[in-house]
Structure 1
């Protein structure tokens, strides 16, 4: 089985050789985050757990961008925005809006959800399928709209 961490380490070597300091910095952050979880939990992360770490990093970047933009710190917004595509490089192919809409509709039908109170059931069905492939906060908004409509 190909480990995602191996691919990330290979990309780090390529960034070092290519002198791509910005990419190298982000890859080092990724590897540090993975290592932190491995040390804390005394395990070696499989690809699924690495995707969770990467997804969490993306979520943190998006939140930081909102906060920095609100504070007028566009210099910091630019840094965070530049890190997102590097992190996304290691995630599975992102879902399109059409795919997300379809999956939400299917999950609502499958779970028998009738109102916003049933949102947890729908999220539970979608989370594993969409993890690392969609912004779950945006998916949450779509689920609410579907259940409210």
Structure 2
């Protein structure tokens, strides 16, 4: 489904002559193709699934946010703007993220459900969150929340 959405968006960007969207979607598709090839060489027949695609897109957004910080420090507003435009294109393919309150509630629910009580349970809690909220949760922030609750 997500692959089809990416391909359809590529065609729309071509028709609309939207160069930023076109370049960004091509970048996404190239990264996806690389991951598919890697998955096939590792013996995973069809390539990567929806969850891996969502994780890849989240990683691309994080990389751009990091780059924005560096460009802002270097006073390169033109590059900051380009990265922000790319983030906007990538986020079109991600589900609506959980806000801070929803994230905290999800962490609490996972901890309660697994009856987690020590930091040793953190891996199980994070695995459950990743399974339930792929592409919707900032797992770095969720990890900090779990650590503070269990630690």
TM-score by length of 2: 0.82
Q: Determine the C-alpha separation between the residues in 2 that align with 1:93 and 1:139.
A: 16
**1:102 and 2:108 matched:** no
CA–CA distance in 2 between the matches of 1:138 and 1:85? 21
CA contact (8 A) 2:51 2:134 kept: no
> Contact 2:51 / 2:135 at 8 angstroms: preserved in 1?
no
Question: What are the ranges of 5 or more consecutive residues in structure 2 without an aligned counterpart?
Answer: 41-45
Residue pair 1:94, 1:133 contacting (<8 A) in 2 also: yes
Aligned residues: 146
Query: Match of 1:14?
Result: 12
Closer/same/farther in 2, CA of residues 67 and 144 from structure 1, 3 Å limit? farther
- Give 1:141's match in structure 2, choosing from 107, 120, 144: 144
| C-alpha RMSD over aligned residues | 2.1
Runs of 5+ unmatched residues, structure 1: none
1:38 alignment partner in structure 2: 36
Q: TM-score of the superposition, structure 1-length normalised?
A: 0.83
Q: Is the 8 A contact 1:55 1:131 kept in 2?
A: no
Q: CA deviation at 1:122?
A: 1.8
